[in-house]
Structure 1
């Protein structure tokens, strides 16, 4: 906007004056507040531009830069009412400005085009930002759901085993003291394991620098297939006779898939401990060419009407996150309960 006042003008043109220079500056300065009060800035720019056109003999500008900037800002940030007012004001101001300048159809067409382009670009920016916000909100919702599933699986499994052990402890103290000692050891181990997993999860949610600028929270790996024997052993220590069998090279799986398999088995065994009143259970993992099958069965009392709370819903969500499925129902020959999940595998993985 100030270039005509910096570069000497041709001798045939009127020289730039200080009043014209001041009005040019006043036209630009309001843009500092364009995000806080865009409509007020628009009115200020229109007023100073009109004064410039009518009150001083200053050099004209090839493009109304400040008007284009505020038009873009209003289109991108302002509500529909302000945008409508802006369009009406520009529809009046642009022809008047052209009439005061060259009064040519070419300038009118060009001016309308560039202002329309600034407005369109502003609306496109608003649309893109809205889409990004929606995507961010959806990602946050998915992350909250994932954390809720993790918290449910960890706490539900640990508390269920601890309750079973605690209930059997008093009886074992009177009849088999060595069993009581094993029960208390199992409670302690289950509690420590749950605390370690919760600490790891909460650590991931902290800031990268940790509290008060300290060292970052430790990043331990997610539980995976290597942890299944220990999981089965802890459940077995609670009094449930659990067998575990894996075939087809299931241990060579991606980390994310292994963590999902671990959580599915964990939730299935937790349901057995909490609801099935079973004596035995089995965990079977079978890997085919392109799918992994997880089957957990027990000899308990089978599915009950209305069963299938957050835990079973979490099983289906975990499997679906990998493009798989999960189903529940009666076990073999209609006895007990069975959880079956299938997870597709990538070729060569």
Structure 2
């Protein structure tokens, strides 16, 4: 019992291997053509046709299968024509020819629309109506079944492919939506929550250093508030790093770098000069003072956004970045010699938090500053920010 099952499995495996190769049709054509030749020889003088004609029709009804995969319509037409000649001459069909016809009709129904495959049933329909009996009816049913079975397999394959494509599209859209939502959450956390936490740390430190007659216990509590806020800000940045890893992690892992400040402006200006291929200068006026990291980050982001806008809207224009330290504020100016805006800009067209002119205004507002964007006196675009944040003692 087990040996019979093993033999059956081997036969099925061999059949699958043959069916999965490009030479499957060639093998089928050779086998069926050989059977047709043997059958023609066995008929002898029992037929009204001479042996040469029978051999020619037998080969015509089977051998074209070798080209079925490449030319299904032409091959099916040749096989159908050979069988139709046999039917019209009152000759019995070759068994090999019937098998070849079934295979050709199945393949045609599987790879071509029904309107192309169904007309090949016409000779068998005429034969069944001309000589109605069980044999002709069975032949017609077999041929029609081959066509419909091939069409059903094709329809099922199309449905499976369409369903797989729909699932892949839905999964892709869902993944993009999830990444976009994580990116949006990361931006909101950075632009709103992180800045508010920075303000808590700044205000606590400012109150501790500038309030006259502050009791030691009060100074200690303010110091604890500042430390707690800075710790919370550190944790917030770690959370942002996790969210942004899903959106697009660097090739060598997430970067845990400190937030940029004024010390990184030289690198930013060098990058703008290298990418734009034009003159970009950094000009510093006044006495340089150590500023709170929140103010430095705001100034850096404003300059970064202004340089990006200059490259986008005034490509090739020279850009000056000016930092002016005064007694009460840091003045940041970014101007270019491009065509300039057509009208004063109010930032209402910003694309979202932390982006565009509206993003610059919101960042400056977080630290109590203002941003004005418009045309400069000498032409071009001018971005001017006033950040009235007191310096932090060293």
Same fold per superposition (TM over 0.5): no
Larger-gyration structure (1/2): 2
Q: What TM-score, normalized by structure 1, do the two folds share?
A: 0.43
